[in-house]
Structure 1
Amino acid sequence: MSLAPRRRPTLSRLVLSLSLTLGIASPVLSQEAARPTLAAPANAAETALRDLYTREWEWRQAEFVREKVDGRWQSSGRMPSVTPEAWARRADYWKRTLAALDAIPLDQLGREERINAAVFRTSLEADEAGARWRTYEAPFNSDSFFWGGINPRQPYQTEADWRRFISRLGDVPRYFDEQIANMEAGLARGWSVPRATLDGRDKTLEPYVQTGDANPLLATFDRIPASIPENVRTRLREEGRRVVQAQTIPAYARLLTFIRGEYLPRTRTTIAASDLPDGRAFYRTQILEYVTRDMSAREIHDFGLAEVARITAEMEQVKRRAGFEGDLPAFIDYLRTDPKFYAKTPRELLGEASLIAKKIDGQLQYVVGTLPRYRFTILPVADDIAPIYTSGRGGLDACFFNTYDLPSRPLYNLPALVLHECAPGHSFQAALALEAPARPDFRQQTYFSGYGEGWGLYTEWLGTRMGIYETPYEEFGRLTFEMWRAARLVIDTGLHEYGWTRDQAIDYLASHTALAKHDVVTEVDRYISWPGQALSYYIGYRTILDLRAEAERELGDRFDQRPFHDTILNLGSVPLPVLEEEVRRFIAAQKASAPTR
């Protein structure tokens, strides 16, 4: 799953996206000068569309207090407003913008602008729906928290960045107070995060209420790089620590008191999206947002059941190749309990992930035609969130691997995890986006889970063609990850549409994968508290895999996976129907260019 510093801030989880981007330190690298310029509009329809999405983008940056620094949009010196009035204003603006988009004759647009229009519409519809449903009244889930991404994961590199950070820290009290008011409103109408998914989540606040150097925010100011002059470092450290002590720590303390004393005791005891006010209709909008195609819960559930059966048969074959004589549940228990499959130290796990990443580097030239200049690093998940975090996340600047509870982090899963999170998955994909073909600013910042997570899961399968899986156990780890995502189709719809219990979902995932029990519980709680998002991975993956099969069938021995992958990656994040249309255009062009005999 992507760490998502580039994610489109969909309204159903905009607060989460904002909290994540706030904590990402931007590189000094500027892409602005290298980026090609857009071609001039070809006619009045293209001019109208470009004016519309340009105005919306500029309005959005002002609305969410972002500014452009070295060619990249990032958070400014304030936190965004999250009041109901602000969200109502945004909902009204997006509704009016959709109406204006409806008035533009799409048949008069060229190919690129038709893609822009489809991306723009899909984004706006999700944003407007999220604001209309008032999802900001439940502004976190079991996995991600608006209070957890404020501290940078890596130190800022310029004085200006540090001063913006200090200014944001001073704005935290107002921002948290608005979030608390929203959560109060959600509780009053029965719109909250399910209580069953929140055990221990309050503990992620505890480090930030400490007044000593163990507070991560205070410790951050000891990491100002030496590239900043010493006298400036001293001033920044003193000013930052003063703001944290006087303003930020008390705000975290008030939030912790509210979460423990008010929110947790009053959150809903139900778990399904269908149990929310008008919840079945809400779940339908979540499916559409994350799958970006018109699919019913029943269609998804049945597809998931069929895929679970298919992958189970493949798992049986791999088990036999491993020479294991027992049944599949016994093999899974063996993988979960034998110490040889687990790292003894965090450094060993991170070292193994790094070795796999370098092995992948040697194969990338055979996978894609364009390699990005930007590089990621490998880091552990931060201690304050590691106990309730997933196994890994990948973003532009870093791939994070969870080293908490090492007996829950099997090494046989690492090859698939590195492929997905690092390269040619999320970090690689994000780096290519910096060097993307000319496209509007809003396209650079748009993220659809079906596309992005679908690509990530596809790269796990691609590892079978790259020679990354060396043992039957690693291949079983890959199948476990594929099964994990297929099972999500069954579990997510089961939970939110068909009345499954939390225990039923946990048992289903545990019995069909070799995931550690810790991960199983963490994942199921994420599906409960984030309806629909888990559906995007497998639907996107199968879309790409089916398109590859179609290309291989149509092109025969002329099929080359490098331009096929370049076509997908050069598009940037798009809805799945757009992806299908553009890949089929590529296939047709390849066929047309075939030499005649």
Structure 2
Amino acid sequence: MKTFFKRLFLGLLIIVLLGGAFAAHEWKAQKPFLFRVFLDRTLIQFAFESPETLTSLGFLESVGIKGHNAKLDDDSPEKADELFEKIPEIKEVLLSYDDASLSEKERLSKEITLYLLEFGEQAEEFRYHNYPVNQLFGVQNGYPSFMEAQHQVHTVEDAENYLARLEAVRVKFAQNLAGIQLRAENGILPPRFVIDRVLDEMNGFINTPAKENILYTSLQTKLNDAKEVTSNDKARLLASAESNITGYVYPAYELLIEYFDRVKEKADTDDGFWHLPNGDKAYESALRFFTTTDYTADEIHNIGLSEVDRIQTEILTILTEQGYDTAQGFSVAIEALAADERFYYEDSDEGRAQILKDYQKILDEIDANLDNAFRIRPKAGMEVVRIPEFKEKTSPGAYYQQPAIDGSRPGRFFANLYDIKATPTYSMRTLAYHEGIPGHHFQIAISMELEGMPFIRRISPFTAYTEGWALYTERLAWELGFQEDPFDNIGRLQAELFRAVRLVVDTGIHAKRWTREQAIDYMKANTGMAQSDVVSEIERYIVMPGQATAYKVGMMKILELRERAKSVLGDRFDLRDFHDVVLKNGAVPLDILERLVEQYIEST
């Protein structure tokens, strides 16, 4: 974990601090001699402008630089303007590097960077077509989560920086509010249910006594673990934290609460992007970004309908073999399975603790038995933790957090334990494989650890690739024999069905004018998921248009490419070679992945 990023960031930091003829040129020149320096320097310059990113990366602290930990990011609309203004400049320099002077890997890096820059130019028109504060994410829950998970406290200085960030939050929230108001002026307000959800969340947050707030309790825990901090300092710092939460943090939240209270009556119940100004075009743009294809909403919708029928048929076949009554159709049969109490843990703290232990056992088992499918493996570890209780009610069923670059934190699979009925035992293997091993943890951690890869290639936001890979590994685990129990296989198929249904409901909401209720009814009837999960998922698609379509589109492409390689290569096909090709290039658009696989087939 420490190898590439430590050398990259510290090396460029030395350039900044010490200069030197060639080094200074490479840092300051509009066009560095070395192409990779240009790519990495560009991203690092953006990172240096983001104190929160620097904290998350954690590399400056190792050389004694901590001042950034007292600051928060500039979230003002003007700062966002600067990013869009820089895109043409970066693109011009990128194109000035002649392909003939670049290696094959560098040409691929150039192509991917250009892809992202050109999409950024095209997407500027729709930069305000989003809801930056919503029930899933936004400054209102992102800020306390960042402080709890990323801000390290080992010394008095670290704690003082923590306190400074508690003060800086008022400005940060005001900047976010300015962006929200700008969207409203352009006719973009979140649906009414979104406003109701965030108001409930924020009111609950500020109605918590300061000493019980996560910003206080998190600092308290960190100080208790900080051996260098004396008892007197701990007491002083905690008293200041309580004062800052009351005097700065809660008033910052009240800024947003007052605004949303004022505008909620203006919000309507039309949930799809189609009702926003230029909403149809904005949704087309979102689909192109998330799927990295030119599929239309109609094409994606119809693929989803076809896949729903296929997968439901497979599930009904297994349920019939296991003695369930399937004569009344999928909805009734799957609800009977969901109601079967033998598949649930005890609804208690002990039951939830056991879920986490069993998830870890599942991951440890598969991690120890993948040598026949993978040569490349991540060095970073993997652990299972619970989603923080203050936000799990509106969070998805699970998510993955990448390891810390400095190796201080392993990859984490966050499990949502709010509703015990949302965690049937037969779904656990599939979820663990998707979020952990060999899903997101393998793909993301390996990408971070790849030697010789430009920074932008390690963080490229190609959802169809990353989520397609994770969904692909669910099926891979079954093919490798890790889901021999027929009910575990039903769990796998349900997860794939869930992603197929997403194709239908996402396009239904944003292109075919489905209501929130229509989408909830369709997903509930066709997946058998817990009602709480269905509502959370549909509301997620409403605030993240197009994102949910990437999973199934990406999975289908990876399977298609694997089958082509097997068909052409026959006995020469090696699954480990195929996975090397997919993983060793980092995240890429699907058409580029297809080209890489074709090159592997030809070379083999």
Question: Do both share a fold (TM > 0.5)?
Answer: yes
Contact 2:134 / 2:197 at 8 angstroms: preserved in 1?
Answer: no
Please give the per-residue CA displacement for 1:146-189, whole angstroms capped at 9, x wherever unaligned. Answer: 22122345473644665554433322111101111221222232
CA distance in 2, matches of 1:377, 1:228: 25
Match of 2:582, SS?
Answer: helix
Task: Label 1:140 to 1:72 Cα distance change in 2 as closer, same or farther (>3 A).
Answer: farther
Q: Match of 2:58, as an amino acid?
A: V
Instruction: Confirm or deny: 8 A CA contact 2:501 2:523 kept in the other structure.
Output: yes
Please name the residue that 1:252 is paired with: 253
- 1:498 corresponds to which residue? 512
Q: Hey, what does 2:405 align to over in structure 1?
A: none
Partner secondary structure for residue 277 of structure 2: coil
Q: Comparing 286-295 with 147-156, which one deviates more in the overlay?
A: 147-156
Paired residue for 2:334, among 332, 335, 342?
Answer: 332
Q: Is 1:554 aligned to residue 568 of structure 2? A: yes
Higher helix share: 2
1:20-64: CA deviation from partner (whole Å, max 9, x where unpaired): xxxxxxx9x6654578999xx9xx999585465345323322443
What letter is aligned with 2:83? R
Shift of 1:235: 6.0
Q: Taking structure 1 as reference, are residues 433 and 334 closer, same or farther at Cα in structure 2, changes over 3 Å only?
A: same
Work out the CA distance in 1 between the residues paired with 2:154 and 2:458. 24
Task: Give the equivalent residue in structure 1 for 2:302.
Answer: 302
Query: Corresponding residue for 1:360?
Result: 366
What displacement does 1:109 show? Answer: 3.7
Which of 113, 118, 123 is matched with 1:125 structurally?
A: 118
Aligned residue runs from structure 1 range 369-408, under 5 A: 369-396=375-402, 397-408=411-422
Q: 1:218 maps to what in 2?
A: 216
- Counterparts in 2 of 1:110 and 1:501: CA distance versus 1, 3 Å: same
Q: Distance in 1 between matches of 2:158 and 2:293?
A: 40
Q: What displacement does 1:131 show?
A: 4.2
Summarize deviations over 1:427-462 as a string: whole Å, max 9, x none: 233322332121122222322111111111011111
One-letter amino acid of the counterpart of residue 275, structure 2: D
1:70 to 2:59 alignment: yes
Task: Structure 2: give runs of 5+ residues left out of the alignment.
Answer: 13-25, 403-410
- Given residue 568 of structure 1, which amino acid in structure 2 is its aligned partner? V
Q: Secondary structure at the match of 1:398?
A: strand
For each residue in 1:258-301, what CA deviation from the matched residue of structure 2 results, as whole angstroms up to 9, or x when unmatched? 33x12433334321112111111111111111111222222212
Q: Which whole-Å CA distance do the structure 2 matches of 1:309 and 1:137 have between them?
A: 32
Match of 2:244 in 1: 243
After TM superposition, list the pairs within 5 Å mapping 1:179-328 onto structure 2.
179-209=176-206, 210-224=208-222, 226-231=225-230, 237-259=238-260, 261-327=261-327, 328=330
* Counterpart amino acid of residue 178 in structure 1: Q
Residues 341 and 181 (structure 1 numbering): CA distance in 2 closer, same or farther, change over 3 Å?
Answer: same
Give the Cα–Cα distance (whole angstroms) in 1 for the partners of residues 130 and 507 of structure 2: 23
* Offset at residue 197 of structure 1 (A): 4.2
Following the alignment from structure 2 to structure 1, what is the Cα–Cα distance between the partners of residues 129 and 159? 28
- Corresponding letter in the other structure for 2:103: G
Once superposed, what is the RMSD of the aligned Cα atoms?
3.0
Distance in 1 of aligned mates of 2:60 and 2:479? 36
Tell me, in whole angstroms, the C-alpha distance in 2 between the residues paired with 1:63 and 1:472: 52
Structure 1 runs not aligned, ≥5 long: 1-26, 591-597
CA 1:413–1:48 in structure 2 vs 1: closer, same or farther (change >3 Å)?
same
For 1:46 and 1:55, the matched residues in 2 are separated by 9
Whether the aligned pair in 1 keeps the contact of 2:417 and 2:423 (CA below 8 Å) is yes
Query: CA separation of 1:256/1:198 partners in 2, compared to 1, >3 Å: closer, same or farther?
Result: closer
Name the aligned partner's letter for residue 313 of structure 1: T
For residues 365 and 237 of structure 1, the distance between their equivalents in structure 2, rounded to whole angstroms, comes to 49
Matches within 5 A, 1:395-474: 395-396=401-402, 397-474=411-488
Measured after TM superposition, the shift of residue 106 of structure 1 is 4.3
CA distance in 2, matches of 1:229, 1:131: 48
Following TM superposition, by how much is the alpha carbon of 1:508 offset from its aligned partner in structure 2, in angstroms?
Answer: 1.7
> Aligned residue for 1:529?
543
Match of 1:483 in 2: 497
1:394 Cα deviation from its structure 2 partner:
1.3
| Distance in 2, Cα, partners of 1:119 & 1:166 | 40
Q: How does 1:22-101 map to 2 (within 5 A)?
A: 32=5, 47=33, 49-50=35-36, 52-65=38-51, 66-67=53-54, 69-70=58-59, 76-101=69-94
Once residues 35 and 570 of structure 1 are traced to their aligned partners in structure 2, the CA distance between those partners, rounded to angstroms, is: 19
Point out the more displaced range, 393-402 or 245-254. 245-254
Cα contact 1:35–1:438 (8 A) shared by 2: no
Q: 1:126 to 1:410 in 2, by over 3 A?
A: farther
CA distance in 2, matches of 1:207, 1:519: 21
Which residue identity is paired with 1:193?
P
Rate the CA distance shift 1:263–1:33 in 2: closer, same or farther, 3 A.
Answer: same
Percent of aligned pairs sharing the same letter: 28
Post-superposition Cα deviations, 1:194-243, rounded to whole Å, max 9, x if no partner, equal 22445433232245323332111111111116354132656654554443
Q: How far apart in 2 are the matches of 1:32 and 1:504?
A: 47
Range moving further from structure 2, 215-224 or 137-146: 137-146
2:164 corresponds to: 167
Question: How far is the alpha carbon of 1:471 from its aligned partner?
Answer: 2.2
Preserved CA contact (<8 Å) 1:91 1:132: no
Shift in alpha-carbon separation, 1:170–1:269, aligned structure 2, 3 A: same
Compute the displacement of 1:107 (Å).
Answer: 6.1
1:575 Cα offset (Å): 1.4
In structure 2, what is the Cα distance between the partners aligned to 1:100 and 1:228?
49
- Partner of 1:399: helix, strand, or coil? strand
Give, in angstroms, the shift of residue 377 of structure 1.
1.7
Contact 1:375 1:431 (C-alpha < 8 Å) held by counterparts: no
Give the distance between the partners of 2:3 and 2:59, measured in 1 at CA: 5
> Match of 1:511, SS?
helix
Q: Is the 8 A contact 1:52 1:97 kept in 2?
A: no
Q: Partner letter of residue 229 of structure 1?
A: E
What is the letter of the counterpart of residue 306 of structure 1?
A: S
CA distance in 1, matches of 2:495, 2:60: 36
Distance 1:277 1:421 in 2: 36
Looking at structure 2, the residues matched to 79 and 136 of structure 1 have their Cα atoms a distance apart, in angstroms, of 24
Distance 1:199 1:341 in 2: 34
Could you tell me which residue of structure 1 aligns to residue 19 of structure 2? none
Contact 2:291 2:553 in 1 (8 A): yes
Question: What secondary structure is seen at the aligned counterpart in 2 of 1:540?
Answer: helix
